[in-house]
Amino acid sequence: MSEEIKLIMADDHPIFREGLRQIIEKDSRIKIIGEADNGQKALELIEEKMPDIALLDIDMPKLTGLEVLKK
Tell me if 23 sits within 8 A of 49, measured CB to CB.
Answer: no
pLDDT of residue 3: 87
- What strands lie across the sheet with 30-36, from one edge to the other? 30-36, 5-10, 53-56
Please identify every stretch of the chain with a pLDDT value under 70, giving residue numbers as ranges: 1-2
At residue 54, the pLDDT reads 97
Q: For 5-66, which CATH superfamily applies?
A: Response regulator (3.40.50.2300)
Q: What confidence score (pLDDT) does residue 2 get?
A: 65
The pLDDT assigned to 66 comes to 92
68, 54 Cβ separation under 8 angstroms: yes
